[in-house]
């Protein structure tokens, strides 16, 4: 590697994938204070007439989270969805065995789907394939999606919801290969059960997108093996001579290494216990930025991604009785939501530092780049703890235009956190303005930083667009 700038070559005709916005989804589970005291708290002065926390709802609206997975998670493998519908005074208070917590069932399927509409997001509902049956899963689809005239659609209407919810995306269970999972089973057993559930669900509504479980832990086969799983899917597709293409869903990802055991994971049979309340620092935020870059580089096959989770539980947002705080990891996630639109460019790079990482491929320094509606967005992670880096963007089919935004998340203390006492200790700041000259733009990124830069670009005079896209 030379001592000059890292050179990145851009060509809008050379795209990696059209970006599916659902890759920036999130997750809410009946776990700890994610639901109760998180998004729903009818006793709070901060809640509306539906019991929704107004401050949380407004924050999620501003983020424009495209999809949220619910109700679990480990929770769903012991959950009877019928407990969470109908008159609230008639719903049973039950023990959630997954997290040893009590669930009042005051917030259930209809409440969540109504909340999704208020938040401007769409649901990714998980069905119980632990203690639940394929028939139970199909019944839930019928309850949610059939207009009227059937057993479960009429029950929904009886519960005061006349119009069907028309939920399109469904998870077939949760982490069924995990020995911790209620209803844990082998891959073969899961395959048979998931196939039957999917078949019955599509008998009810053929217009469903279904997500099957993959390996759920780093010691298990195919965990994080994107390329290998994709290759197997394509091999099966070829042998069957099928036109169907299987996509990948990475629907639980985040940084989580502190609140993983003991009282942090045992609810002691309380309602809304403080579980998995990870406090994130600057270092964690940089890692989240790196994960976002990895997802973007995998956008040619990954179509759904869920930051797990969204509120209070390993989450970018934390609440108390008086308000909320934005944790450090919120900022790279919010940049992806705001600027991650259009197509991911397949960039060429020179003079880029790398490092060896056990168990994974060599990781690149610079992040992925996207283009949409004449706007270029660049996300760059600088892992170097001491040295700034210069990134040189070289346009091959365009010229640079007007700078729209340049921000950076950095600081001298990697362990700095945001909390209710100091909620803005770690926040983005204006980055050094990029220096543009014709088809070349230079960006300076400080050490231990994650940067987001957006600007317009122009088609040079006399340029003829290429019709072929390289993948």
Q: Which of 37, 59, 111, 175 is catalytic?
A: 175
Q: Is 252 annotated in the active site?
A: yes
Q: What is the strand order of the sheet 389-395 is part of?
A: 348-350, 6-10, 389-395, 440-445, 435-437
**Phi, psi (5° rounding) for residue 120?**
75, 35
DSSP 8-class letter at 314? S
Q: For residues 36 and 273, is the Cβ–Cβ distance under 8 A?
A: no
CA distance 226 to 470: 20
CA distance 167 to 122: 8
Closest to 381 (Cα-Cα) out of 337, 330, 445, 331? 445
Does a cis peptide bond (omega within 30 degrees of 0) precede residue 73? yes
Strand, coil or helix: 343: strand
DSSP 8-class letter at 281? B
Q: For residues 327 and 409, is the Cβ–Cβ distance under 8 A?
A: no
Instruction: Indicate if the alpha-carbon torsion angle 380, 450, 28, 101 is positive or negative.
Output: positive
DSSP 8-class letter at 130? S
CA distance 203 to 56: 37
Q: Which of 59, 142, 252, 278 is catalytic?
A: 252
Q: Is 356 annotated in the active site?
A: no
| Token digits of residue 130 | 């632990």
In the chain, the N- to C-terminal Cα span, in Å, equals 27
CA distance 250 to 1: 33
Closest to 10 (Cα-Cα) out of 386, 271, 349, 407? 349
| Token digits of residue 278 | 């990870």
Supply the residues annotated as catalytic.
175, 252
């Amino acid at each position: 590697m030379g001592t000059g700038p890292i050179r990145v070559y851009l060509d809008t005709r050379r795209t990696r994938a059209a970006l599916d916005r659902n890759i920036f989804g999130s997750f809410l589970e009946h776990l700890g204070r994610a639901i109760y005291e998180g998004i729903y708290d009818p006793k709070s002065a901060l809640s509306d007439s539906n019991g929704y926390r107004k401050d949380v709802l407004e924050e999620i609206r501003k983020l424009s989270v495209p999809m949220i997975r619910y109700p679990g998670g480990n929770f769903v493998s012991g959950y009877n969805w019928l407990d969470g519908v109908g008159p609230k005074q008639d719903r049973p208070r039950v023990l959630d065995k997954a997290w040893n917590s009590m669930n009042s069932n005051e917030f259930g399927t209809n409440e969540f789907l109504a909340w999704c509409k208020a938040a401007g997001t769409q649901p990714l509902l998980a069905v119980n394939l632990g203690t639940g049956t394929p028939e139970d899963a199909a019944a839930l689809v019928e309850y949610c999606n059939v207009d009227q005239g059937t057993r479960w659609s009429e029950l929904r209407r009886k519960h005061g919801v006349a119009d069907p919810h028309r939920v399109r995306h469904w998870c077939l269970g949760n982490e069924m290969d995990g020995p911790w999972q209620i209803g844990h089973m082998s891959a073969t057993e899961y395959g048979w059960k998931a196939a039957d559930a999917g078949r019955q669900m599509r008998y009810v509504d053929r217009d469903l997108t279904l997500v099957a479980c993959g390996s759920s832990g780093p010691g298990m086969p195919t965990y994080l093996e994107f390329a290998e799983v994709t290759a197997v899917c394509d091999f099966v597709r070829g042998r069957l001579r099928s036109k169907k293409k299987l996509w990948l869903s990475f629907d639980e990802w985040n940084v989580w290494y502190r609140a993983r055991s003991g009282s942090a994971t045992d609810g002691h049979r309380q309602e809304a216990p403080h579980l998995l309340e990870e406090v994130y620092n600057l270092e964690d935020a940089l890692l989240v930025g790196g994960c976002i870059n990895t997802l973007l580089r995998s956008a040619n096959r990954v179509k759904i991604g869920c930051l797990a989770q969204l509120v209070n539980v390993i989450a970018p947002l934390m609440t108390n009785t008086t308000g909320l705080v934005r944790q450090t990891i919120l900022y790279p996630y919010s940049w992806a939501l705001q600027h991650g639109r259009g197509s991911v460019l397949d960039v060429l790079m020179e003079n880029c530092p790398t490092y060896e990482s056990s168990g994974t491929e060599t990781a690149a320094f610079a992040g992925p780049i996207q283009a949409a509606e004449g706007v270029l967005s660049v996300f760059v992670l600088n892992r170097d703890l001491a040295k700034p880096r210069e990134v040189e963007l070289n346009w091959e089919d365009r010229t640079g235009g007007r700078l729209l935004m340049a921000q950076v998340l950095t600081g001298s203390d990697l362990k700095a956190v945001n909390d209710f006492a100091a909620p803005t200790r770690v926040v983005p700041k204006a980055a050094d303005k990029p220096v543009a000259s014709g088809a070349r733009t230079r960006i300076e990124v400080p050490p231990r930083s994650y940067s987001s830069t957006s600007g317009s670009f122009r088609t040079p005079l006399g340029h003829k667009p290429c019709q072929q896209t390289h993948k």
